[in-house]
Amino acid sequence: MAKKKVRARPLTEAPLAVVILAAGEGKRMKSALPKVLQPLAGVPLLKRVVDTARALKPASIAVVYGHGGKAVRAALSTEELTWVLQQERRGTGHAVQQALPHIEDGARVLILYGDVPLLRVQTLEELLLQAGDAGVALLSVELDEPEGYGRVVRNARGRVQKIVEQKDASRGQLKLRECNTGVLVAPARRLRAWLAAVRPHNAQGEYYLTDVIALAVKSKVPVTPLIAPTALEVLGVNDKVQLAQLEGAWRGQMAQELMRAGVTLADPARVDVRGTLSHGSDVSLDVNVLLEGRVVLGDRVRIGPGCVLRNCEIGAGSEVFAHCVLDGAIIGPDCRIGPFARVRPASTLAASVHIGNFVEVKNSQLGDASKANHLSYVGDATVGAGVNIGAGTIIANYDGANKHRTEIADDVHTGSNSVLVAPITVGAGATIAAGSTVSGAVPAGKLTVARARQTTIEDWQRPSRARK
C-alpha cells in the first residue's frame, strides 16, 4: 500500500504579532456605543476578536482604535494590549502603519478586524502555517453575491496577483466571486516597506492595506491564498441587521456544539449561550433557556423553559422548573427549584432542597432536605436540615440601614404568613405558629405564637360613603 503523502509545513519560528483594526465609527449602527463594543452573545465584538487572537499565543496584540476611544479602552481595560490611536482615519493601510512601530522586524504580523468576531482559531492557525516565516498568506472567501467586497485577482495559473476594491474594479473583475476578507499574514519588515510604498491613488483616496498583495507579488514574495471554509466565519458587522445575523449564527453554533457533546435541546434555535457551559451526561435544556457567565450542570440536570442561569452550579439529578432565575448560586444534588423562583448570589442549597413557586432566596444557605415551597423570602439566613418554611414566610433581614442574619436550626417549621425579624435565632425542632411575627429568640422544640388574640366586635359597622 502506498504511503499517504504528507504536506510539508513551513517553519514558523518568528514571533507572532497580531494587529486588530478597530477604529471605525460604525455610523450604520445608529448607536452611541462604538461599533466594536456592540454585544455579540453578551460580549463586545472586539473582546471576542481579542479572545481569538489570544488563543494563538502571540507575542503581542495591538489594537488600532479611533472613534469612541475612551469607551473602547475602558471596556477592555483588564486586557494586556498595546493601544494605538489612529488620529486621522485614512484607510486600512494607514491604520496598520500606526501599529508597526510597536512590532519588531523579525515578527510575523497577522491583521484582524474588531468587527469580524466569528473567525475560528483553526482557520487562523492554517493561515499562519501557509505563510510560514517569510511568506504572505491571504484569507479569501467565495461569495455568490460579492457586491461591496474587494475581488481577488489571479493569473491564468491560479496565482494571486492583486486585490481590487469594488469601486476600482473593472466590469470583468466585478464578475469574480473570490473576495478579500482583509485578514492576512506578512513578515513585519516586508510589510513596513510595502506600506511605505502604498499611495492613495484610488476612488476613495485612502491607503489600502490590500495594495501590499500586488507589491508582494512584484517583490517575488509568495502569496498563498486560503479560502475560508464558510462565508459566515468572515462576515463583518456594519448594522444591527448584520449583528442579529451573527447573533443567530453564534446561537446555532453553540447549540450544535452542545448537542454533539450529548446535551438534549428541546429546540436548538431557542437556547442562548452567553458564557461557558460545563456539563455532565443526560443534561436537558428546554426552550428559551439563557446561560450567562460560567454555568456548571451535573449529570441528569433538567432545565425548564424560560430559565436564566448566570454563574451558577447545579448538582446531579436536580431539576429547575419553568421561568426561574438562578444567579451566582450553588445548587446541590437532587434539588427541585421553581417554577417562578429566584435564587440570588451567595446562596447555597444542599442536597434535596425544594424551592417552590414565587420563592426568593438571597445570600442564604439551606441544609439537606429543607423546603420553602410557596411565596416566601429567605434573605441572609442560615437554615439547617429538614426545615419547612411555610407559605408566605418572610425573613425580614433589612432594617432600612443594615442587613441582619437569621439562624434557623434543624427541623424547624414556620407556619404560613410568619415573619422572622432579624437578627434572630430559631432553635432546633421549633415550630412558629401561622401568622406570627417573631423578633426574639425562638426556643428549641417549642411552639411559639406571636399574634394578637382574635376578637369579634359585635356592634361594629363598616363605613359607607354618603350618597350624592
d(CA 111, CA 131) in angstroms, rounded, equals: 13
Q: Nearest to residue 436, comparing CAs of 426, 374, 445? A: 426
Active-site choice (67, 374, 404, 413): 374
Nine-digit cell at 5? 503523502
**Phi/psi-derived region of residue 405, left when phi > 0, alpha when psi is between -120 and 50, beta in every other case:** beta
**Are residues 82 and 202 in contact, defined by beta-carbon separation less than 8 angstroms?**
no
Instruction: Report the distance separating Cα 76 and Cα 47, nearest Å.
Output: 7
What's the helix, strand, coil split of the chain in %, to 5? 20, 30, 45
| Integer Cα distance of 441 and 46 in angstroms | 55
374 is catalytic: yes
Segment (H or E) for 243 = helix 240-260
Residue with cell 440601614: 401
Taking the C-alpha atoms of residue 184 and residue 172, their distance in angstroms, rounded to an integer, is: 25
C-alpha to C-alpha distances, 102 to 37, 86, 212, 222, 290, nearest whole angstrom: 24, 14, 19, 25, 41
Q: In this structure, what C-alpha cell is assigned to residue 10?
A: 513551513
Please provide the distance, in angstroms rounded to a whole number, between the alpha carbons at the two ends of the chain.
108
User: Would you state the cell numbers that stand for residue 281, as one nine-digit string?
Assistant: 451526561
Three-state DSSP at 10 gives: coil
CB 397 within 8 A of CB 415: no
Got the DSSP string for 248-312?
HHHHHHHHHHHHHTT-EES-GGGEEEEEEEEE-SS-EE-TTEEEEEEEEE-TT-EE-TT-EEEEE
Residue 335 CA to residue 339 CA, distance in Å, equals 13
> In whole angstroms, what is the distance from residue 7 CA to residue 243 CA?
38
3-state SS, residue 126: helix
Q: Which residues, at least 6 apart from 338, have a Cβ–Cβ distance to it below 8 Å?
A: 304, 307, 320, 321, 322, 323, 324, 355, 356, 357
- Catalytic residue set: 374
